[in-house]
Amino acid sequence: MIPGGRTALHPRYEVFDRDVKNHVELFRPENVPLETEEARLCQQYQKLTGSLTVKFHGEEKTLVQMGRYLEEPDRPLRQEAWELVAKRRLQEAEKFDAIFDRQIKLRHQIARNAGFDNYRDYAFRRLGRFDYTPEDCPRFHDAVETEVMPVERELQAERRAQLKLDKLRPWDLAVDPLNRPPLKPFARVEEMVSRTQKIFNRLDRELGGGFRQMQELRLLDLDNRKGKAPGGYQDTLNEARLPFIFMNAVGLQRDVETILHEAGHAFHALAAREDNLRAYRHAPIEFCEVASMSMELLGNEFIEEFYSAADANRARRVHLEGIIGIFPWIATVDAFQHWIYTRPNHTRAERAAAWLALMDRFGGDVDWSGYETARANLWHRQLHIFLHPFYYIEYGIAQLGALQVWANSKRDKARALNDYKTALALGGSRPLPELFQAAGCGFEFSAKTIRPLTKLLREELEKLRD
């Protein structure tokens, strides 16, 4: 007989039991009205953000539509567009702060009602984070500061030199530094599908088969057409246990990244579909995004299916630079929330100062002079802070997993893909460290893990130099 408790005797239901127990333990009837109020404030934020428009060259534009002008080679035009958006947001600064003040108070009360000292500790439990703690997060932030920021600053210096500027301003960060026209990976969606199919065929026969099956079963709705809802995502038809992909492809490199990413999620759903426990057919977000982000990196190895050799390298470079650039932002958003919810009685001035200190740490070499207020309020545009508190570091954790899968594939492609598929097939049936381990990755996010991955990114970027 095996000595020990339930876990040893019922490993099959360990994760399931843990999640159900957690859910029951956190429930407090007195929190129901508070959560309703919290949801109302979230709606207010969404309504406010969604309603913002500007008048640009005689036309009314949403702030999302304004985003594309930051890719314009014409610098004064970029600046004009950026300033207009920043100014529009600042007009609502008071409202954003007021919504957030009330959210913090409510969330703190919800946490206290459930028996926690603060909302951070409550949120970690609520999000089912059993495999890492709030204390792991500052280690991640520190590692981003020491390992990633030097590379980010190098990339910014290079961009500055290529753009022939003394200083990078906030409107110089998205434009192609060599002023080239946008990459054109395909003209028609059918081309995107057939080329993506070729990438997966070259990567792995089984994954190629999965994507072909999705085509045959008409599980892809990819083209942008009038009246179609915006966005791109993968979801699962739970009854049929089949994934589908929805997106609005218009012929940009971004679309190629999206289809590779969402296909990674779809492969995950296909791999885990046989599990008869529905809860186990989905993994936690920290690992779901390993499935999808790995596919971006692995798929990009064959992106010549879309491009000439030079354009393929340009696309890879943009992708890898994006990975470097997202870590500091994740660290900023996460560290900010740790600060906020462990000091629920802070003033708005203290909050702004805390944010600015993080911008100094993680903002890199960008000159914001003349726009100090916009810089201090930049967090207003990060919807997770308002709508999904603490839900952001997952992307950092997952990206580290994906980079490890990619690093493994450079040493032994067959084995890396095999581990990847094995881990996907586990769905959500095991705790995170085991899912990562099955995929050939460590579940650890301090400098020990980040340093070699940053080194790899830097070496790869060097190889892709124009």
Residue ranges that bind Zn ion, judged by CB under 5 A: 292
Which is nearer to Zn ion, 69 or 395 (by Cβ)? 395
Residue 434 class from Cβ within 10 Å (0-12 exposed, 13-18 middle, 19+ buried)? Answer: middle
Q: Closest residue (Cβ) to Zn ion?
A: 292
Please check whether residue 79 is in contact with residue 169, taking contact to mean a CB–CB distance below 8 angstroms.
Answer: yes
- The rounded distance, in Å, linking the Cα atoms of 48 and 62 is 12
Pairing type for strands 220-223 and 242-249 reads parallel
Please check whether residue 66 is in contact with residue 81, taking contact to mean a CB–CB distance below 8 angstroms.
Answer: yes
Q: How far is the CB of 269 from Zn ion (least distance, A)?
A: 12
- The rounded distance, in Å, linking the Cα atoms of 324 and 160 is 17
Which is nearer to Zn ion, 118 or 292 (by Cβ)? 292
Q: How far is the CB of 57 from Zn ion (least distance, A)?
A: 35
Which is nearer to Zn ion, 156 or 248 (by Cβ)? 248
Q: How far is the CB of 335 from Zn ion (least distance, A)?
A: 23
Q: How far is the CB of 292 from Zn ion (least distance, A)?
A: 4
Q: How far is the CB of 135 from Zn ion (least distance, A)?
A: 27
Which is nearer to Zn ion, 103 or 292 (by Cβ)? 292
Q: How far is the CB of 290 from Zn ion (least distance, A)?
A: 10
DSSP 412-455: -HHHHHHHHHHHHHTTTSS-HHHHHHHTT-----SHHHHHHHHH
Angle between helices 253-271 and 189-203 (to 10 degrees): 50
Which is nearer to Zn ion, 175 or 271 (by Cβ)? 271
Which is nearer to Zn ion, 27 or 233 (by Cβ)? 233
In DSSP terms, which residues pair with 234 in a beta bridge? 245
Q: How far is the CB of 261 from Zn ion (least distance, A)?
A: 6
Tokens of 394: 């997952």
Which is nearer to Zn ion, 103 or 404 (by Cβ)? 404
Pick the closest to residue 293 from 323, 327, 272 (CA basis).
323
Q: What letter would DSSP give residue 380?
A: G
Q: How far is the CB of 196 from Zn ion (least distance, A)?
A: 16
C-beta atoms surrounding 182 within 10 Å: 12
Phi and psi at residue 37, to the nearest 5°: -65, -40
Which is nearer to Zn ion, 283 or 358 (by Cβ)? 283
User: Letter for the amino acid at 424?
Assistant: L
